[in-house]
Structure 1
Amino acid sequence: MTAPGAFARGTDDGAASLAPVGVICGSGRLPLEVVAAARARGRKVVPVAIEGEADPAIDALSPTWLGFGQIGKLADLLTREGCRDLVMIGGIAKRPDMRKIIGDFGTMRRLPRIVATLVGGDDSLLKKVIRLFEEEGFRVIGAHEIAPDLLAGAGPLAGPEPAAEIAAELALAVRAVVDLGRLDIGQAAVVVGSRVIAVEAAEGTDAMLRRCAEVRAAGRVRRKGGVLVKCAKPQQDLRVDLPAIGPDTVRLAREAGLSGIGIEAGHVLVAEREATLAAARENGMFIYGVAPLAHRSGGQADE
């Protein structure tokens, strides 16, 4: 078994960029797209599917399935495959299953550090997870670094350029998301007219949009239209947890009676791009890439 940090000794970032990349795959379709896109660009990818989280369809990409928390087996696998870079993509709804850890002596040896990662908000947790892998000698990179075509561009992506009234809604929603992000709460908000009617918290964007539909159905929001905006948090480490939209986002936004969706250009992933944009067009909605946040601190959050 390789000692923590041993693999990275004697390497540099240039060599790492040419080496195989490990991709830890959580839930959703994005992990499949990231793996496929990276392979299409000529990168060797070692996909690792998280049991109970990853989409079963990922079997088509020949992954190794591991239980969430089996850090020892994961580190050994990636080292054996020659991986220096590591990408984490997809949702993880559960905490580690300690039953999976029993018998994995590499994980048991690391258990105090693993337990220490389970305290704090999303950003705190993700920073600790990154640090855990870096201590093992891996370089954690963003999904957009191996699959840049999945990032949203700037300007109209589907539908027309937003009119002045809608542009004002987008601007207010961006301000709401910025304030939300600074508190490490969420990455999305819904604005109707001059009113913020919903913000994303631990329930996620889909549940927030369902809540918006319920509020509308109850007659508590009578004005038509409105916008959803998703941005990365101002202090967010862009290597992990980039916000994303997909066909379900469009469907739920339509059911909530919204006119369209604004997403931060260069900082939001678009899953199933063609289907997502087509769904917006078919429903008379827009998807617009808003300018990146001017006050973002950079590619990585401050430690």
Structure 2
Amino acid sequence: MTKAEAGRKTVLAAADKVAIVAGSGRLPVNVAESLALVGHVPFIVRIAGETDPGTSLETYPGSTLAVEQFAGLLPLLRRQGITHVVLAGGVSRRPMWRAIRPSLSLLSILPRAILALRRGDDGLLRILVDLIEDNGIKVVGAHQVVPELLAVEGRMGTHAPIAADWDDLRAGLEAARAIGALDIGQAAVAIGGRAIALEGIEGTDLLLERVRDLRKNGRIAGRKRGVVVKCAKPGQELRADLPTIGPATVDAAHAAGLAGIGVEAGRSLVLDFGELVERADRLGLFVVGLTGRETAR
């Protein structure tokens, strides 16, 4: 699939059945609620220990699988007559191999799964997408079935970056692209025109918590403002794991003493948009969609 195809809106027919493989966070909730509004009630595959409890996902038909039961995903999708799958939300841990029960379906995919694990997160996602589509089920990105989730270009909300913030946005974008090329993370924090913290396997929330602690410990006490920037990894599988921000990102950026958030327009997701804008406006933060042209300024 080309980048153009990965970004194209998917038009669902009346007979199509959509499954959401739901990890943690608000993304699977946003996707499920948007699909239900247009008459496509999704089937939810909850990942044990990952899918957030107490959300509207519990009101939809579904089933729960542990990450060690990944070989059972395809038979489950086939039994439900699923035509399209959305991979949405975070997964914080890898399978515990000792807990996996041997089966014929597992043996058929195990060599590819092991290879994918060695290649890193994006390699694993690519293999999972290929495995599902090899069985006649189409994998679509959250942005393809709910395009209104995509970040728009420019300012989102009342507040706008000042001149010094643009230096930080450029530095943060360059750093985020660099670690993305190494399949390390999708986010970077920049203060004073240079990157001071990079996202690793811990994710954006803990990256911002680390920056908050750096301020408290005096390591960046004299530095004002600053930004967090998120962008897609170069060559990333766009149907899974797009950079995502939501109201919680605004809260965490504010707690870290930052002035705003930058996200890659058209290749990032904004969850609970109205709530995010309201919270950013109230806390005095800017949120801006970046095109990539900013690095040439």
Q: CA offset at residue 98 of structure 1?
A: 5.1
Amino acid in the other structure paired with 1:262: G
* Amino acid in the other structure paired with 2:172: A
Change beyond 3 A, Cα 1:39–1:233 = same
Q: Is the 8 A contact 1:190 1:197 kept in 2?
A: yes
Residues 24 and 50 in structure 1, CA contact (< 8 A), matched pair in contact too: yes
Alignment partner of 1:33 is 2:30: yes
Mapped partners of 2:170, 2:115: distance in 1: 38
Q: CA deviation at 1:109?
A: 4.7
User: 2:269 is aligned with what amino acid?
Assistant: L
Flag the 1:27–1:73 CA change in 2: closer, same or farther, 3 A: same
Aligned twin of 2:219: 220
Deviation readout 1:11-34 (Å, 9 max, x if unpaired) = xx9999422122100111211111
Secondary structure in structure 2 of the residue aligned to 1:54: coil
| Count of paired positions | 283
1:209-237 per-residue CA deviation (whole Å, 9 max, x = no partner) reads 11111111122211210111111112111
- Name the residue aligned to 1:200: 199
1:50 corresponding residue in structure 2: 47
Contact 2:263 2:289 in 1 (8 A): yes
Equivalent position of 2:75 in the other structure: 76
User: Which residue is equivalent to 1:190?
Assistant: 189
Distance of 2:9 and 2:80 partners within structure 1: 18
| Alpha-carbon distance between aligned partners in 2 of 1:33 and 1:205, rounded to the nearest angstrom | 19
| 2:18 alignment counterpart | 21
Q: Do 1:113 and 1:132's aligned partners in 2 also have CA atoms closer than 8 Å?
A: no
User: C-alpha distance in 2, partners of 1:79/1:15?
Assistant: 20
For residues 37-66 of structure 1, the C-alpha deviation after alignment (integer angstroms, 9 at most, x for no partner) is: 122233342221111111122212232112
Counterparts in 2 of 1:133 and 1:67: CA distance versus 1, 3 Å: same
Are the equivalent residues in 1 in contact too, given 2:261–2:287 (CA < 8 A)?
A: yes
Contact 1:67-1:97 at 8 Å conserved across structures: no
Greater Cα offset, 202-211 or 161-170: 161-170
Flag the 1:14–1:211 CA change in 2: closer, same or farther, 3 A.
closer
- State the distance in 1 between where 2:259 and 2:85 align: 38
Question: Are residues 15 and 30 of structure 1, via their aligned partners in 2, closer, same or farther at CA, if it must alter by over 3 Å?
Answer: closer
Q: Report the RMSD for the aligned CA atoms in angstroms.
A: 2.5
Instruction: Within 5 Å, give how 1:1-303 maps onto structure 2.
Output: 17-18=12-13, 19-56=16-53, 57=55, 58-97=57-96, 101-102=100-101, 106-221=105-220, 222-292=222-292
Q: Please tell me whether the aligned partners of residues 27 and 55 of structure 1 are also in contact (alpha carbons under 8 angstroms).
A: yes
- Pick closer, same or farther for the CA change 1:190–1:71 going to 2, 3 Å: closer
Could you tell me how far 1:155 is from its partner in structure 2?
1.0
Structure 2 unaligned regions, length at least 5: 1-7
Instruction: Give 1:139 deviation, angstroms.
Output: 1.9
Question: Going by fraction, where is helix more abundant, 1 or 2?
Answer: 2
Q: Which runs of 5+ in 1 are unaligned?
A: 1-12, 296-303
Measure, in 1, the Cα distance between the counterparts of 2:12 and 2:68: 26
Aligned-partner SS, 2:232: coil
Cα offset, 1:243, TM superposition: 0.9
Q: State the 1:103 CA deviation.
A: 7.2
CA contact (8 A) 1:267 1:292 kept: no
C-alpha distance 104-50 of structure 1, shift in aligned 2 (>3 A): farther
Describe the shift of the 1:81–1:16 C-alpha distance in structure 2 as closer, same or farther (beyond 3 A). farther
CA contact 2:88–2:142 (8 Å) conserved in 1: yes
After TM superposition, give the deviation of residue 71 of structure 1 in Å.
3.9
Q: Is the 8 A contact 2:34 2:146 kept in 1?
A: yes
Provide the secondary structure at the position in 1 that maps to 2:67.
Answer: coil
Q: CA deviation at 1:281?
A: 0.9
- TM-score, reference length from structure 1: 0.85
- SS across alignment from 2:240: coil
Q: Distance in 1 between matches of 2:99 and 2:19?
A: 21
The 8 Å contact of residues 85 and 138 in structure 1, kept in 2 or not, is answered as yes
Q: Percent identity of the aligned residues?
A: 40
d(CA) in 2 for partners of 1:256 and 1:292? 25
Deviation at 1:90, TM superposition (A): 0.6
Deviations 1:258-281 (A, max 9, x none): 001011111111122222221111
- Per the TM alignment, residue 79 of structure 1 is displaced from its structure 2 partner at its CA by 1.7
Question: Could you say if the C-alpha distance between residues 83 and 287 of structure 1 is closer, same or farther in structure 2, counting changes exceeding 3 Å?
Answer: same
User: 2:4 aligns to what?
Assistant: none
2:219 is paired with a residue of what secondary structure?
coil
